[in-house]
Structure 1
Amino acid sequence: MKTKAANLEDPYKYSPKQEGDPWEVLLKPEIEADQVRCDSWKEEVQNLLIFAGLFSSVVTSFVINSYQTLQQGPNDVIIGLLFHIASGLDTSSPFPPSVDPTQILSPFSPTVSSVRINALWFISLILSLTTVLIGTIALQWLREHQYYPGCSAKEKLTILHMRTEALEAWHVPQIFSALPLMLQAALILFLAGLIDFATFLGTKLMIVISVFVGITLFFLATTTVCPA
């Protein structure tokens, strides 16, 4: 019995395995690359949020005490008034009061160092809170960026490319890179204000604090510049 030669138009005796959706094949590496990038951003931002929250608490505790130096204390006003009353009642004394009461009751003016310290610490606190705000919003962006409700593989691939282009257009990678710099700037300003504040505590303590702050800033500068 002769075997009939095979023809291209003949039906398959054994059907070939289905290859699946070709869009899924194209989508998989794109999704994996995007997942790796978004996960790295999420991990970095979450670590920054933890540090920024703790740092903001520390700065706030210093600011609560330091801003009082910008205002005249109620005790100073009471002392001035009592001095003025006592000076008016002491008519038997042949000597005039040694201190002019108008100088005590003169308008209050904070020292330059107090203004400088508070300015540094308030700006530091603002930068820290801004980092928390931007980081929280950025995490929301990433969550929406990776959300594809009820989309086919073809639609997901199209949406992914559109969203990736939008991230680049809105400079989102640069925003993530700026968050650590903002937090580092806040830390530097706080340490600068801390050195200035230490001048009120004595020369020896100021020198000790300045040395440790200098070591910290040197390490920060070295680890920032050398890898570049």
Structure 2
Amino acid sequence: KDIRSRFWDTHRRVAEEREGEFLERHNNEMDIVLVFSGLFSSVNTSFIVANGKNLVPNPSDTTNALLTQLVQIGLGNLSAGTMSLEPASTWSPSQTDVWIQAVAYASLSMSLLAAFGAVLGKQWLGYYKASRYSHGSPEDRGRRRQMKMDGLNVWYFDTIVQSFPILLQCSLLLFGISISADMWYKQRSIAWVIIATVVFGLLFYSLAVLASLSSTACPYQMPSSAVLRLCGVDSTSLSSTSIQY
């Protein structure tokens, strides 16, 4: 073989090794997002259903109101003409219940959006895996393959895929806020336990992100670290900010 052929053979072996690691890593991440999103969405849905009754009138209250009116009519204290046809028409949910449910629904929406993104991510990876090989000479195949690999960087594929776990993490935080607020108005001693757990998890996550930004050798790397680095946040910017303050 000539030098050009040996070069493209070496390029193919190196590219296959790199692509194999790339596809395996992202496929595993998408599988984790799908599994966790499915389990978490079921828990979140149960919470929404359990608290959904606070957003609609209680049928027993309507029945009791009608019975009270009938008793008043029987006693002569109320005429049938002045009887309200819809005793529960003046009912409205409390603002607390509304915003708790709003946060819970936002959490569920983010979880489903993360799952949808993971499905798209697996489809994109499958398309890339199927289209990375082409016909032609080794040089033509190598050039097309390199073009597809360069396209991953040009179109920020890694950042887009890394944003799906971040959506799931935000969804988990919103769920913690909603369940803490809901329990706060029911039993504050239990609410403090939930709040302490949420705060501890948030602090732990924040410290892990800061540690990962301080050095690329830190083992606590996560999707949010990659996104923050893309936005220009790293150890240098953090150090300069701390010096200014």
Q: Does the TM-score normalized on the shorter chain lie above 0.5?
A: yes
Q: Does 1:79 align with 2:46?
A: no
TM-fit CA distance, 1:176? 1.5
**Cα distance in 2, alignment partners of residues 104 and 222 from structure 1:** 54
Q: Which residue of 2 aligns with 1:218?
A: 203
TM-fit CA distance, 1:131? 0.7
TM-fit CA distance, 1:191? 0.1
CA RMSD, 1 decimal: 2.3
Shift of the 149–226 alpha-carbon distance from structure 1 to 2, 3 Å rule, reads closer
Q: Does 1:209 align with 2:194?
A: yes
**Cα distance in 1, alignment partners of residues 184 and 87 from structure 2:** 25
Choose the corresponding residue for 2:152, options 154, 167, 175.
Answer: 167
TM-fit CA distance, 1:225? 2.3
Choose the corresponding residue for 1:132, options 73, 97, 115.
Answer: 115
Question: Which one scores higher on RCO, CA 8 angstroms, separation ≥ 6?
Answer: 1
Shift of the 105–132 alpha-carbon distance from structure 1 to 2, 3 Å rule, reads closer
Query: If you compute each CA radius of gyration, which structure gives the higher value, 1 or 2?
Result: 1
TM-fit CA distance, 1:178? 0.9
Q: How does 1:1-228 map to 2 (within 5 A)?
A: 21-22=5-6, 23-91=8-76, 104-147=87-130, 148=132, 151-152=135-136, 153-228=138-213
Q: Which residue of 2 aligns with 1:14?
A: none
Q: Which residue of 2 aligns with 1:10?
A: none
**Cα distance in 1, alignment partners of residues 114 and 98 from structure 2:** 24
Q: What are the superposed Cα offsets for residues 45-93 of structure 1, whole Å, 9 maximum, x if unpaired?
A: 21122111111111011111122211112222212211122212212x7
**Cα distance in 2, alignment partners of residues 196 and 154 from structure 1:** 62
CA contact (8 A) 2:134 2:141 kept: no
TM-fit CA distance, 1:150? 5.8
The one-letter code sitting in structure 2 at the alignment partner of 1:161 is Q
Q: Which residue of 1 aligns with 2:240?
A: none
TM-fit CA distance, 1:169? 3.4
TM-score with structure 1 setting the length? 0.80
The one-letter code sitting in structure 2 at the alignment partner of 1:142 is L
**Alignment partner of 2:104: what SS?**
helix
TM-score with structure 2 setting the length? 0.75
Moved more, 41-50 or 177-186: 41-50
Tell me, which stretches of 5 or more residues in structure 2 are unaligned? 214-245
TM-fit CA distance, 1:44? 1.6
The one-letter code sitting in structure 1 at the alignment partner of 2:20 is Q
